[in-house]
Every structure is written in structure tokens, then in C-alpha cells.
Amino acid sequence: MTVDPGFPDKTTLLQAWDALRALGAPEQGGTRAGAHDIRALFEGDPGRASRYTAVLDDLVIDFSKTSLDDAALEVLHALSRAAGLSLFRDRLFAGDVVNVTEGRAAMHMALRDGPDAALSADVAGGHLGGDREDASALASAELGRMGEFVSGVHDGRIRGATGAVFTDVLNIGIGGSDLGPLMATEALTVAHGPRLRARFLSNVDGHGFAAAIRGLDPARTLVLVASKTFTTQETATNAAAARAWLSEALGEPAVADHFVALSTNLAAVASFGIRPDRVFGFRDWVGGRFSLWSPVGLSIALAAGFDAFQAMLAGAAAMDAHFRAAPFATNLPVLLALAGIWHVDVCQYRAQCVLAYDDRLRRFPAYLQQLEMESNGKSTGLDGRRVRQLTCPVVFGEPGTNAQHSFMQLIHQGTSVVPVDFILAATPDHDRPEAHRILAAHAFAQAEALLRGRGLAEVEAEMRAKGVSEASIAAVAPHRVFDGNRPSITILSGRLDAFALGRLIALYEHKVAVQGCIWGINSFDQWGVELGKALAAGLLPDLAPGAPEGDHDHSTNALIARFRALRGED
């Protein structure tokens, strides 16, 4: 392979990292006392809230409640220049090979930027003089096929084997073929209901399959099998179970009328019994966790409507245009990425919480877990050496206000500081305005409480005003103290419609890519997923009754023996 990953000058890059770390607190290897005192930044800068807010149309990102200041941003931007971020962005949109370990471009933007974007992708693994293909034209053509299919299902021209119209769609996939479509479908159908009712099956656990088909009428169920290679073990197992379920009810020939493949393995799809006109594909320059914009998002279009799916694509395209053109000083994905690098590498916060104060985004944290941790959960740099800096934090979250009654205790008073992204829409899609004001009050109050905290003197005064005895104050007051100075970012939009959802997802996609560039890692491969899958394939025969002991460590062999004994098979 002759890929040039565009390595920056190592000396300049190391100097930039050293300059950044020097801005940290002494106990974290830096030189600045009070480096993370957010309250002091507000006290010294009355205009901080407006100066540390970035806006794109109705999308507002307020990162003033972090310990970033002008000096920190200056050094962070210098680091981005030393890491070659501008060149990386150019190469990303040029369709050059940025996934250097697999020799692929990362051109998921072509799926949503329209045919006129004329985006192309390297398809020769980065070899000099290699071939390129018109990614925009290919994506547009497949999107057109998707639109025709969705229209046919919705108006009843495309029906099941018995002539019944489809009322339900079962999406079978895992990872990027499940998390993205599931998240977006829930977000876009909660308020107004689905065109088709959507179910999602990912876990190979048979209990998951039983739950997924419960109450479904096979004659009215369309099954989507989302697997680029059509060989993923979990998806293949669940697809075979769904095929048996449907065949038992309707007969073997019904498979052709009820199954759709979102795949590029035409031979395997044909062997399964799926017709060529029911196969929707995408290229290798579309990574799994970036694929909901592709035919993998067919379940979104079937459930929410093709217009909603197109609006989601348009929202993502708007963020693409902003990321591609905006100066880094006002570039929303870049600023969000730099704030994350500040928290991880300077403040050494090892977790990131995402709280969407919108029940429609209840699966958004799970989606981000894959997007961020599979992309940037790496310890090997593009140069093949172990990175010196910390990379991706642990990402977790729940919908607000639910989280306030679970793990927010740790975020407010725990020994580990966890930055929070608060996400909120100003206008809901329901007719309970007072409930939405209560929701917003909780979101803003949580962010304010993390910033302000509550000191011991304040707690004691409050308790005395309520007539609490001095003995009780001495015993209880220390437990009611909040340190404060805990960082958060608030992302606010006008409303959460399909356009806004697409824009939000693309915001985080580009944030991840920017961080990968600055950390010097490949955000587009996922080799860490492979070892466990390979070992599982080799271990499976050892679980059969009477199988000899396998070549495993003593603990694994003992667990296999106990598993078989508990099943009565040993």
C-alpha cells in the first residue's frame, strides 16, 4: 500500500502537545494554579456566555461552562494546525484514503450531500494513480431506488406473499446497522407515529428474537437484513431464525416477497432467497457506524416516511457544508472536538456524559457510544506507534430527567469529574407546554448546579434558617456540599425535527473525525472488534456436548466445563 496519511512534523506536533499540557493544573502535570476554576472565569469576564457560544442558524452550542479560556483555545488551535487538521479536512472531502489501515476513503458525506456535490472516492486503496468513482452519483442512484421502494410499500403496490399490505418492518442488524436506524426511527416517530411499525433485532440471544417477533403477523411483516458482507454471525443467525419463522407461517416461496437485503454480497443474498431488486447496497467508503444515511437507513424511511429521511439527510448536509467551509474559530464540530480534547488530555477527565432532555433521543447516547468509542478508542497512532496522549473517554448517558434520579449523584458529588453535554430543543412536538418548560428548567438547572456548586457556609446558613439544630448541622451539612466547577456544554436547537436530527448527528460525526486527526489515530477502522469475534468462532465447537477440552486458558476451560455441566451436557 502506498497510502500517505499526511503525517505532520513530529517535532512541531510534540511541542504543541507540550504547550497544551502546560495549561493544566500542577497536579495534572501543568503549571497553572486554578486552571479549572470555571466560576472564576465568569467572575472575570461578564461577557463570557456570549463569547463562548457558537451558532449555526437555530443551533446553539454554549461551552462557556467549561474551563476553556482564550489562552487555552489559542493553544488548542495551534495544536490543530500542527496536527494538520486543515489538510485532513480537505483530504476527507476529496475522498482520499483516510482509513489507512484498510485503504479506504470515508465518504459517507456523499450519501447526503446530493448528486450536485460531485464528491468522489478513491477505490484503489490509495495507490498512486488509482481509480476513483463518483460517490455522489452512486449514492443518489441508490437513494432513488430506496424512494421508489418506500413509496411502493406505503401506497400498497408492494405487498406480502398473501397480498396483505405491510404494517410492520423488522430490521435485523448489529452495531452500525442497528444503533443508528433504531435511534433515528425512535426520534422521528415518537411524536407523530410511524408509517410502518418498526422493530429492531440485534442481539443473537434467542430472547431478543422472541421479543422482536412477539405480536407480529408474518403476512404483514417486511424483514430487512442489514449486513454489508452478509456474513456477520449475529445478524446471519437472526436472519435465519426470521426466515424459518416466516417460512413456517407462509411457505418457503414467501421469503422472496418479505425479505430485503442491505448488503453488497450479492451471491450470499441470492443464496438466502432474496431477489436482486430487493437488494440495496453501499460501497466500502461507507463505514458501519456512519451508514444510517445509506440503505441501512431504509427502516427509518419506512417508519418515518421518505420525506423525513430526506430531511434528515439535508440536515446532515448542512452540517457538512458548515464543517467544510467555516473557519475553525467558529466551526461547531471543531470547537466541540477541542473542548473534548481539553477535557481528556489537559483535565484528564476519562468519561463523557450525554444527557438529551428529549425522550425522542433516548437512544442517542447508545448511538454515540459506538460512534465515539469505536472510532477513537485507539491506542496506536497512524505511524504504528503507541500514542503518548489520552484518547477517547468512556461515553454514557440517559434521557433527562431520568438521569437525575440515577447517576447524576456521581456527576455532582463523586470523586471523578465527568463533563456533560446537555441537549435540548426549545419547541416540542406535543401540546403540553408547561411540561416542556419544566423539562427545560431541569436541564438548565443541572448545568447551573454543576457550575455553581454549594459551599459549606451556604449549607449551614440554609439549615439554620430552617431551624435545624447545631448538632444536626455539624453531622449533615458536609454531605450536602457540592464542589461545583464541573464542566458542561449545552446544545440547544429550535426544535427536534428530521432536519435538526440529521444536523445533530453529523455534528458529532465530524467532532469524532477532528479528534481522531488531532490524536493522530485512525477514526475509521475498528480492529478491536475483531479478536473477540475470531475467538468466538473458534470457541463455539468446544461448547458442544462431549467436546474435548479446548486450547484456552484455565479459566475459560473451567467456565466451558461448568456451562456444559449446568446444561446437563457434560
DSSP SS3 for 549: coil
Contacts for 97-101 with beta carbons within 8 Å, 24 or more apart?
97/3, 97/122, 97/125, 97/126, 98/5, 98/522, 98/524, 99/287, 99/522, 99/524, 99/525, 100/1, 100/3, 100/5, 100/126, 100/382, 100/522, 101/522, 101/525, 101/527
| Burial of 321 from C-beta contacts in 10 A (0-12 / 13-18 / 19+) | middle
Catalytic residue among 405, 466, 479, 554: 405
Calculated CA dihedral for residues 43, 45, 47, 51, nearest 10 degrees: -120
Sign of dihedral through CA atoms 472, 476, 482, 483? Answer: positive
The answer for residues whose C-beta is within 8 angstroms of residue 480's C-beta and 6 or more apart is 454, 459
d(CA 436, CA 69): 33
Tell me how long the chain is. 570
Task: Quickly tell me which residue has 416516511 as its cell.
Answer: 305
The residues that bridge with 172 in the sheet, in sequence order, are 201, 225
Which region, left, alpha or beta, applies to residue 221 given φ > 0 means left and ψ of -120 to 50 means alpha? beta
* Residue 405 annotated among the catalytic residues of the structure: yes
Q: Three cell numbers at 353? A: 456524559
Q: Look up 533 and say whether it is catalytic.
A: yes
The reply to whether 412 belongs to the active site is no
Catalytic pick among 10, 127, 533, 549: 533
* Catalytic annotation, pick one of 133, 234, 372, 374: 374
Sort strands 394-399 and 259-262 into parallel, antiparallel or unpaired: unpaired
Are 489 and 61 within 8 A, CB to CB? yes
185-212 CB burial, b ≥16 within 10 A, e <16: bbbbbbeeebbbbbbbbbebeeeebeeb
Give the active site residues.
374, 405, 533
